[in-house]
Structure 1
Amino acid sequence: MPFEPVILFFLLGALAGLIRSDLRIPAVLYESLSIFLLLAIGLKGGVELARYPVGELLFAAGVVVAAGALIPLIAFPVLARLGKLPRADAASIAAHYGSVSVVTFAVASTFLLGRGESAEGYMTVFLVLLEFPALMIGIWLARRGAGSGDWSKVLHEVFAGKSIVLLLGGLAIGWIAGSEGLKPLDKLFFDLFKGMLAIFLLEMGLVAASRIGDLRRAGWFLAGFAVAMPLVGAALGIATGLLLGLSVGGMTLLATLYASASYIAAPAAMRIAVPEANPGLSIGAALGITFPFNLLLGIPAYHWAAVTLHGVFA
């Protein structure tokens, strides 16, 4: 089965980085693309959310957040005890893996779209909700027994960060306007989505290639963790999806969310809350290994598992 075209753009960027090409995506374009993608995902989720009574989602949202909160609690002792990492680094990496990647979610959505597979529209709500708990748990793990730190700055960084503002804002606009109200914007935010994602992934390939040096210095343990932890998260996502009765597409997206690692919101929050942690370790693992692993192997595997288990238990 051939790769999705958007993933080939990521591979092109990674190759360009590895051969030390002078290819560069201008910073202003990268920033513009990230704003576009976040808004587009939020708008699409809001349109779909309008089709559901909000009250019906409360139980599912509670289960998804509670299950997602287990991920940093699983990751931390593995990193601290088996990996023998300092508490600050173990907590920071655990927070990155407990949080989620918007771009990985976007690629998984594109993967499903290419196969004519639908998913529950409220998955974007889960995407937004899963940003918070892991960051708070990671900070608590780092600060346990050493004071609480400046929580007001951390909370502001998390809740006022661009990813949350744009996702929540797009979600609200899509929910209020509905599909009919957003029709004049369809060609911009929906028709151009895959093209914008492709250029963004070209830059992500360049960045991922630049992080390989951090992982070499970290050693084989962290590299193995960066592959094993997504599999643990995906298994938790599949199990949670089965419990909630999600469709194959919904299970695939939830598995992808749990398997992903944040490299936008988490680094910003950890920089303020746990400044002694080495960001090269967390970003190197999340972006240098976990992100390409999910794009190339993980998402197809999670979809296969969802199809197989949904057929058995549905």
Structure 2
Amino acid sequence: MQNLLDPAILFFIIGVLAGALRSNLEIPPAISRFLSLYLLMALGLKGGFALSHSGLTAQVGISLSAAIVLAICIPLMGYWILSRFVSGFDAAAIAATYGSVSAVTFVTAVQYLENQGVTYGGHMAAAMALMESPAIIMAVVFANVLRQSKTHSVVALGGGVAALQGPSALPGIRVSKILHESFTDGAQLLLLGAMLVGLVTGEAGKAAMQPFSGDLFKGMLSFFLLDMGLMAARNLPKARGHSPVLMAYAVLGPITHAGLALGLAVWLSLPVGDGALLMVLAASASYIAVPAVLRYALPESSPSLYFGLSLGVTFPLNILFGIPIYVSLAQSFLL
């Protein structure tokens, strides 16, 4: 309940209410894009400054390895479950969306930890960057396999004669192109570049950038969450009318993913802050980077499914209730 009294969360709720009431309140796209880039830059700087203070330790390597394991396992598990209820292309798209991460959810969780006085490793920003691409790559691989199976499927003809279908309308998308787009994405490069700047400049850089990356951060996050509240409310109708199974996945899937992250964090003896952020990353779903790639890479899938579920259902639940729950569980089970 205390989380709902945070100014940033209250602005998110205001955005949801304004969107639900069909208000003409709107954040211009250019400003929304700037706020997104600001938050990533500030987060990268914070992570770099923290890494400069702590150094690259074995604990850092363990946390990053755990992030990569989750980034591979979650989309695989999601595709295996969802392919039983929707088409293979939609299953791959939804699995990729929920296997990737939400930067805004992560930034909000970082702010929540700071408000609670819980320390965390700056390297978790790098973990977020590492977790974004594997799900996209696997979705493209799944889609290419589906296309190839359709291309070479055998059609039974009368009299026991068999013939091959003609080539599918859409050729397989090259994984190399998706890899290039994933790793050269501007937001990713800005995040990692800002981390490098923070790592190199250390305490002197932190003092110089404090008015930018520290003092302004809470206000910028509040403004951006207002915009996200508007978007969430306006995309919720896209999630309505879908199969109850998909709605259940949008709610229970992130909880399951967070549970996997908690089990991994307990097994690896991660610190409370790192474990909490790992849970948040595992429970989040992408609604910016992955949908943008999927529109090109999986045109056979339905954007209203993966975009509506992630932004209309999962994102609000994580922002309002998920983050404090995940942090509380991490505090209960981790040292």
Written as runs of structure 1 = structure 2, the 5 A alignment for 1:44-193 is 44-54=46-56, 56=58, 57-81=60-84, 84-147=85-148, 148-193=172-217
Instruction: Tell me the CA shift for residue 6 of structure 1.
Output: 0.8
Give yes or no for contact 2:71–2:132 (8 Å, CA) kept in 1.
no
Secondary structure at 1:250's aligned position in 2? helix
Secondary structure at 1:24's aligned position in 2? coil
Corresponding position of 2:263: 239
Give yes or no for contact 1:92–1:274 (8 Å, CA) kept in 2.
yes
2:240 paired with 1:220? no
Written as runs of structure 1 = structure 2, the 5 A alignment for 1:20-59 is 20-54=22-56, 56=58, 57-59=60-62
Task: Count how many residue pairs are aligned between Structure 1 and Structure 2.
Answer: 309
Instruction: Tell me the CA shift for residue 98 of structure 1.
Output: 0.6
Give yes or no for contact 1:261–1:290 (8 Å, CA) kept in 2.
yes
Give CA-to-partner distance per residue, 1:153-194, whole Å, 9 cap, x none: 312221121221111111111111112123222101111111
2:230 paired with 1:206? yes
* Alpha-carbon distance in structure 2 between the residues aligned to 1:15 and 1:240: 37
Report the residue type matching 1:97 in the other structure: Y
Instruction: Tell me the CA shift for residue 121 of structure 1.
Output: 2.0
Give yes or no for contact 2:143–2:298 (8 Å, CA) kept in 1.
yes
Give yes or no for contact 1:120–1:246 (8 Å, CA) kept in 2.
no
> Looking at CA atoms only, which structure, 1 or 2, has the larger radius of gyration?
2
TM-score by length of 1: 0.94
Instruction: Tell me the CA shift for residue 145 of structure 1.
Output: 4.3
Give yes or no for contact 2:19–2:230 (8 Å, CA) kept in 1.
yes
Give yes or no for contact 2:52–2:199 (8 Å, CA) kept in 1.
yes
Give CA-to-partner distance per residue, 1:128-156, whole Å, 9 cap, x none: 11111111112212222425422233122
Give CA-to-partner distance per residue, 1:46-80, whole Å, 9 cap, x none: 11122344362334322320133110111112211
Cα 1:60–1:254 shift into 2, 3 Å: closer
Report the residue type matching 2:64 in the other structure: A
Secondary structure at 2:200's aligned position in 1? helix
2:309 paired with 1:285? yes
Report the residue type matching 1:60 in the other structure: S
Report the residue type matching 1:224 in the other structure: A
2:326 paired with 1:302? yes
* Alpha-carbon distance in structure 2 between the residues aligned to 1:49 and 1:199: 28
* Alpha-carbon distance in structure 2 between the residues aligned to 1:205 and 1:145: 36
Instruction: Tell me the CA shift for residue 23 of structure 1.
Output: 0.4
Give yes or no for contact 2:63–2:127 (8 Å, CA) kept in 1.
no
Report the residue type matching 2:36 in the other structure: S
- CA-atom RMSD in angstroms: 1.5
- Structure 1 portions without partners, runs of 5+: none
- Structure 2 portions without partners, runs of 5+: 149-171
* Alpha-carbon distance in structure 1 between the residues aligned to 2:332 and 2:193: 36
* Alpha-carbon distance in structure 2 between the residues aligned to 1:179 and 1:283: 40
Instruction: Tell me the CA shift for residue 222 of structure 1.
Output: 1.6
